[in-house]
Amino acid sequence: MNPFVIHTGLVAPLDRVNVDTDAIIPKQFLKRIERTGFGQFLFYEWRFTADGQPIDSFVLNQPKYANSTVLLARNNFGCGSSREHAPWALLDYGFRVVIAPSFADIFYNNCFKNGILPIKLSEEQVQELFSRAQSKDNYELTIDLQEQVVKDSDGLSYPFEVDSYRRYCLLNGLDDIGITLQYEDKIAAYEAKKRA
Amino acid sequence: MKPRTMFEKIWDSHVIHEEAGKPSLLYIDLHLVHEVTSPQAFEGLRLAGRKVRRPDLTFATMDHNVPTADRFNVKDPISRQQMETLTANCKEFGITLADLNSPDQGIVHVIGPELGLTHPGKTIVCGDSHTSTHGAFGALAFGIGTSEVEHVLATQCLQQSKPKTLEVRVVGDLPYGVSAKDLILAIIAKYGTDFATGYVIEYTGDAIRKLTMEERMTVCNMSIEAGARAGLIAPDETTFAYLKGKRHVPQGEDFLAAVEQWKQLCTDPGATYDHYVEIDASQIAPQVTWGTSPGMGTDITSTVPHPDSFETAAQRKAAQDALSYMGLTPGTPMSEIKIDRVFIGSCTNGRIEDLRRAAEVAKGRKVSSHVHAMVVPGSQAVKQAAEQEGLHLIFQEAGFEWRESGCSMCLAMNPDILQEGERCASTSNRNFEGRQGRGGRTHLVSPEMAAAAAIAGHFVDVREWKREGVNKEVFQ
């Protein structure tokens, strides 16, 4: 996994609540057996018509938001299916950060396993970011995980909370399995006790 | 000792390692695997040169991609590849697989309990959000992503932060004609799709105690639609009676010893939850969803709501978007909404009792001429049991298609799919945009409501059919 330390990027505002993982990556694209290549299908049914033409009104199809790497969203982002294809698709498309007032648990967890930083800010703060991203051209945010702060070039600065252990793993790009295997003795002892 | 909730007891007994500021390392007793969320996990093991630590605690089946009409003829080459990949991975890593040839095949959350793999007090995971189903037995069961699937395969453990606890107490009795599906849909409609985010729900109260195991599974199944990490129901005599004699449940003396242990799992008197809500079951009516989120539901006797009736701007916009997608006009009585398709099945409502209830409604009647209806048993065992009872004949005579087991149109990763604009009464769990097919419009209902809608051609209050005395045995 790639470490995440600091990131600056263009912001795309997706103004919907309860964006589910079926919307993020529709089921017809879950059949691949690789982790890569899902970006082309991200938000597919919102991005493209049934015959594959781009839908101009969808935020990611607007030239203003092309090449964005920070996704701004509303409450309960990532609800529904546990499919990790959702963060894979976001990452493959180019997103490294998702900012929303709240996230569904499994999605939130899956992001950290893939080097995406999901950030919870208050509804008011998210609303302010929506206003700026929608009204300004090339609106960028800098996300500093070391300092735990979201900033823009106009002086906006929002600190954010993140679990210290998740932060540590993301900063260092650590592999969970490797960490767990350090406790092999304890796992074996637990299994021996259970079998007894 | 401090009184503990059932969740805390299961959690405590599975913690392998704890350290301040870090997630706990939790031992996993049962890992269920299916074809969609596992290929990348097995690939990860291969790349790292790792083995599956406990193939004996791992059980696999194929359900999401499986065609339910001509099941051995998997026309989609990518679906076929995904199923073949699972077969090859199970062989390589020594995992038991219930494939299409197996009488044990079925939706992963239907076969776990059926085979007796699901026990009270176990920790159970699967790369599927509806793993919460198994909580009906008093097991701590939750969905995980593919990275975690790989982690469990390699270590039989998971790093988990301890969730909070939420008691949902259901007082009163469910009125007659109102099902467990209506109960969980009503809870989600009342409290929202994220009210339980970060929590494990324990369902308590008289109404819960009176539910059968299959009804409890329906309730726990949709806990994820309330945002919950897991749903739990304390095991009792109903649970033990269900489990007794199942293939993977201890037998004889061992069973009695297991029951004694399972009885210890219940929440201690005086234990406290982090949060608490109470709902009166006697006030619940049959539910129908009108929108594109499971919380957008209402009583069958009600009307499609007006977006202006919602409190916040975000809710009003969500309602507007949903009504536009669903092609519905505010104020329309729910019972006047005409449907094109009916799907009875899924890990929410694809068990034998669900099919019985639907069959009682369908018996001696005909599916409306403009409706295409199908019944998809949750597993091969459910299919066989239904056929022994003659339920398939009732459905077929009424004009329902009788299919093979699989996830089918719950998520349409297989040939069962809605066409653009088609409106479906579905016993599944998600009414998201495009879930059952691009442009498809899903209304979530109970099996008896789905069967009644198939016959009437529009939603109906199935309680009235009972009042007319047509199907006397339906709601006993």
What pLDDT digit, counting tens, does each position of A20-36 carry?
999 999 999 999 899 99
Q: What is the domain extent for residue A104? A: 6-195
- Chain B residue closest to A84 (CA)? B145
Confidence of residue A195 (pLDDT cuts 50, 70, 90): confident
Average pLDDT of the segment spanning B313-330: 96
Task: Give the pLDDT confidence score for residue B259 in this predicted structure.
Answer: 98
Residue from A17, A29, A31 whose CB has the most chain B CBs within 10 Å, to mutate: A31
Confidence of residue B47 (pLDDT cuts 50, 70, 90): very high
Average pLDDT of the segment spanning B175-186: 96
Residues from chain A that touch B433, judged by Cβ atoms under 8 A, are 22-23, 45
Which positions of B make up the binding site for [4Fe-4S] cluster?
Answer: 347, 407, 410
State the complex-level ipTM: 0.94
A positions 49-88 inside 8 Å of B (CB): 50, 74-76, 79-84, 87
From the CA of A108, how many Å to the nearest CA of chain B?
10
Transcribe A86-109 into DSSP letters: HHHHHHHHT--EEEES-B-HHHHH
B positions 274-293 inside 8 Å of A (CB): 293
Residue B403 has pLDDT above 60, yes or no: yes
Average pLDDT of the segment spanning B413-430: 97
Residues from chain B that touch A110, judged by Cβ atoms under 8 A, are 145, 147
Contacts of B114 (CB under 8 A, 6+ apart): B104, B106, B246, B379, B381, B382
Distance CA B11, CA B271 (A): 15
**Mean pLDDT over the full length of chain A:** 96
Residue at A163 is within a domain: yes
Transcribe chain A into DSSP letters: -----EEEEEEEE---SS-BHHHHS-GGGTT-SSSS--GGGTTHHHHB-TTS-B-TTSGGGSGGGTT--EEE--TTBTBS---THHHHHHHHHT--EEEES-B-HHHHHHHHTTT-EEEE--HHHHHHHHHHHHHSTT-EEEEETTTTEEE-TTS-EEE----HHHHHHHHHT--HHHHHHTTHHHHHHHHHHHH-
Q: Where are the beta strands (DSSP E) in B223-377?
A: 230-232, 275-280, 287-289, 297-299, 341-344, 372-375
On whether the CB atoms of residues B114 and B106 are closer than 8 A, the answer is yes
* Full-model pTM: 0.96
Kind and range of the H or E run holding B423? strand B423-426
Distance CA A46, CA A20 (A): 12
Residue at A1 is within a domain: no
Inter-chain residue contact A22 with B411, CB threshold 8 Å: yes
CA distances from B20 to A176, B158, B161, B347 (A): 17, 17, 11, 38
Report CA dihedral (A104, A106, A111, A113) to the nearest 10 degrees.
160
Confidence of residue B467 (pLDDT cuts 50, 70, 90): low
Task: Phi first, then psi: give them for residue A170, nearest 5 degrees.
Answer: -70, -40
Domain range list for chain B: 6-276, 286-464
In sign, the C-alpha dihedral spanning A30, A32, A34, A37 is negative
Beta strands B140-143 and B341-344 are: unpaired
Average pLDDT of the segment spanning B435-452: 98
Inter-chain residue contact B154 with A183, CB threshold 8 Å: no
- Write out the two tokens for B157: 């453990």
Confidence of residue B281 (pLDDT cuts 50, 70, 90): very high
Average pLDDT of the segment spanning B24-51: 97
Q: Given CB atoms, is A26 within the 8 Å cutoff of chain B?
A: yes
Residues from chain B that touch A105, judged by Cβ atoms under 8 A, are 163, 197-198, 227, 229
Burial B315-349 (b: 16+ CB within 10 A, else e): bebbbebbbebbebeeeeebbebebbbbbbbbbbb
Distance CA B107, CA B380 (A): 9
Beta strands B164-171 and B199-204 are: parallel
- Write out the two tokens for B24: 């706990």
Contacts of B152 (CB under 8 A, 6+ apart): B28, B31, B125, B144, B158
Residues from chain A that touch B40, judged by Cβ atoms under 8 A, are 33-35, 84
Cα angle, residue B198 at apex, residues B113 and A162 outer, rounded to 5°: 135
Confidence of residue A196 (pLDDT cuts 50, 70, 90): confident
Task: Give the pLDDT confidence score for residue B472 in this predicted structure.
Answer: 45
Nearest CA to A190 out of B109, B234, B57 is that of B57
Residue B465 has pLDDT above 90, yes or no: no
Common-topology check for domains B6-276 and B286-464: yes
Nearest CA to B62 out of B43, B79, B44 is that of B79
Our separate counts of H helices and E strands in chain B read 17, 19
Other residues' Cβ atoms within 10 Å of the Cβ of residue B289: 24
In sign, the C-alpha dihedral spanning B345, B348, B351, B357 is negative
User: Across the strands, what pairs with B402?
Assistant: B375
Residue from B146, B153, B422, B442 whose CB has the most chain A CBs within 10 Å, to mutate: B146
The secondary structure of residue B461, as a DSSP letter, is -
- Across the interface, of A27, A87, A102, the residue whose CB is closest to B197 is A102
Task: Give the pLDDT confidence score for residue B352 in this predicted structure.
Answer: 98
B positions 101-160 inside 8 Å of A (CB): 127-129, 143-148, 150-151, 154-157, 159
Inter-chain residue contact A190 with B16, CB threshold 8 Å: yes
Transcribe B299-326 into DSSP letters: ETTSBPPPGGGSSSHHHHHHHHHHHHHH
From the CA of A32, how many Å to the nearest CA of chain B?
7
Task: Give the pLDDT confidence score for residue B15 in this predicted structure.
Answer: 98
The number of residues in chain A equals 196
The number of residues in chain B equals 476
Nearest CA to B299 out of B289, B316, B284, B287 is that of B287
Give the class (CATH, top level) of B6-276.
alpha beta
Kind and range of the H or E run holding B467? helix B462-467
Q: Given CB atoms, is A17 within the 8 Å cutoff of chain B?
A: yes
Cα angle, residue B233 at apex, residues B258 and B133 outer, rounded to 5°: 95
Task: Give the pLDDT confidence score for residue A1 in this predicted structure.
Answer: 79
Distance CA B146, CA B126 (A): 9
Q: How many domains does chain A have?
A: 1
Inter-chain residue contact A109 with B43, CB threshold 8 Å: no
3-state DSSP call for residue B384? helix
- Write out the two tokens for B340: 């094109």
pLDDT in tens, B63-104: 999 999 999 999 999 999 999 999 999 999 999 999 999 999
**Mean pLDDT over the full length of chain B:** 96
> What is the architecture of the domain spanning B286-464?
2-Layer Sandwich (3.30)
From the CA of B257, how many Å to the nearest CA of chain A?
15
Residue B475 has pLDDT above 70, yes or no: no
Inter-chain residue contact A33 with B82, CB threshold 8 Å: yes
Q: Given CB atoms, is B324 within the 8 Å cutoff of chain A?
A: no
CA distances from B255 to A194, B13, B138, B311 (A): 17, 20, 16, 53
Task: Phi first, then psi: give them for residue B175, nearest 5 degrees.
Answer: -65, 165
Nearest CA to A128 out of A136, A116, A137, A118 is that of A136
- Write out the two tokens for B97: 């697989």
Residue A189: which CATH number? 3.20.19.10
Q: Given CB atoms, is B254 within the 8 Å cutoff of chain A?
A: no
Nearest CA to B377 out of B4, B45, B107, B28 is that of B107
The secondary structure of residue B164, as a DSSP letter, is E
Distance CA B164, CA B170 (A): 19
On whether the CB atoms of residues A21 and A84 are closer than 8 A, the answer is no
Residue with tokens 């490294």: A96
Q: Given CB atoms, is A180 within the 8 Å cutoff of chain B?
A: yes
Task: Give the pLDDT confidence score for residue B474 in this predicted structure.
Answer: 45
In sign, the C-alpha dihedral spanning A73, B162, B136, B52 is positive
Scanning B210-332, the segments in alpha helix (DSSP H) are: 213-221, 237-243, 253-263, 313-326
Least confident of A175-179, B110-114, B227-231, B437-441: A175-179
Residue A85 has pLDDT above 80, yes or no: yes
B positions 190-219 inside 8 Å of A (CB): 193-194, 197-198
- Across the interface, of A50, A82, A179, the residue whose CB is closest to B37 is A82
- Across the interface, of B54, B430, B439, the residue whose CB is closest to A80 is B430
Q: Given CB atoms, is A176 within the 8 Å cutoff of chain B?
A: yes
Residue B476 has pLDDT above 60, yes or no: no
CA distances from B259 to A149, A164, B240 (A): 52, 41, 7
Residues from chain A that touch B145, judged by Cβ atoms under 8 A, are 82-84, 87, 106, 109-110, 113
Distance CA B369, CA B359 (A): 18
